[in-house]
Amino acid sequence: MTGEATVVKNAGSHFLLSELPEWSLFPAVLRGKVRLKGSSSTNPVAVGDRVRYSCEENPTEENPAVITEVLPRSNYLIRRSTNLSRQSHVIAANLDQVIIAVSLYFPEIKLPFLDRVLVTCGVYGIKAVIALNKVDMYRSEVPEEVERFKEIYQGAGYRVIETSARTGEGVNELKRVCQSGLSLFCGESGVGKSSLIKAIDPSLNPKIGRISDVHLQGKHTTSLYEMYRLSDGGYLIDAPGLRGFGLVDLDKEEISKYFPEMLKFADDCYFTPCTHTHEPHCAIKEAVDRGDISAERYNSYLGMLEEDKKFR
């Protein structure tokens, strides 16, 4: 028996598949050398991948299906390892959007991390939505910082949804976003991502009692990434808290192309190409001086250029 299915959970060398839109999970393993052409990532199969498999009529944990081929991806989100190695890791594939959960404090926001995720989404043509969580805490204490964050990122062209898992603010808007297609939910540890997922769909509990743990009978349950079917429609991939996000396969000359606010001014630079760092009559630097491009985003851009040098 053979078929095509979507990877809904990755637990090392063990996987769970489902023939979406049907939600009927069954175990699978990866045997032999399944590799993607031109890929140097550490994981040949990611959650969201569509795969071909072969199996007996009813796959079980003792006799799982075997993944024989990874079908071409429409897109994927990838990051470089945080230890400055050349290895990369595919977080998820075939996404309709990425929702990046952030908090201003507790933990304090790291804009370079957020900007690296946004740039990577741009490189691979994935829509990005920012969920600014815990706004019930910030609005009374630091309202000007909330407005500044929105000014920076909405001004750059991104959708920012103010959310609070505690009060429910923004949850319905976030739920509507997730109802269309497949969404990846990611963020740094401590930003309240799991609480937001629970608020979006109370039937889910991304911390304990995962449905797939039952299918895996308690084995190999250290999940890296897992997909859920939302009760109101759509599918959501829960990514563990990320501590770093290195860029992959992006030349330094291309980085500025994925800062939407820079594209408005780049054609006016005197030199072509222009790195927007030291060149005279640089329209990007002039826009930063005027406040048309935020200093915060420009500093993130400079950090990415510096990061690129470390790998060369």
Q: What is the pLDDT of residue 240?
A: 78
Q: Enumerate the CATH 2.40.50.140 domain ranges in the chain, comma separated.
A: 2-70
Q: What is the pLDDT of residue 170?
A: 96
- Per CATH, which fold does 252-310 belong to? Ribonucleotide Reductase Protein R1; domain 1 (1.10.40)
Q: Which among 5, 126, 6 is positioned nearest to 77, based on CA atoms?
A: 126
Q: What is the pLDDT of residue 252?
A: 84
pLDDT digits (tens, 9 = 90+) for 77-88: 988 765 545 677
* pTM reported for the whole predicted model: 0.86
pLDDT digits (tens, 9 = 90+) for 151-186: 999 999 999 999 999 999 999 999 999 998 999 999
Q: Does the domain made of 76-238 have the CATH classification 3.30.1330.60? A: no
Between CA 145 and CA 269 the distance in angstroms is 31
The CATH number for 2-70, chosen from 2.40.50.140, 2.40.10.340, 3.90.1300.10, 3.40.720.10, is: 2.40.50.140
Q: Enumerate the CATH 1.10.40.50 domain ranges in the chain, comma separated.
A: 252-310
Q: Enumerate the CATH 3.40.50.300 domain ranges in the chain, comma separated.
A: 76-238
Q: What is the pLDDT of residue 101?
A: 95
Instruction: Please compute the mean of the pLDDT values over residues 14-20 and round it to a whole number.
Output: 94
* Cα-based distances in Å from 178 to 97, 149, 196, 215, 277: 8, 23, 12, 25, 39
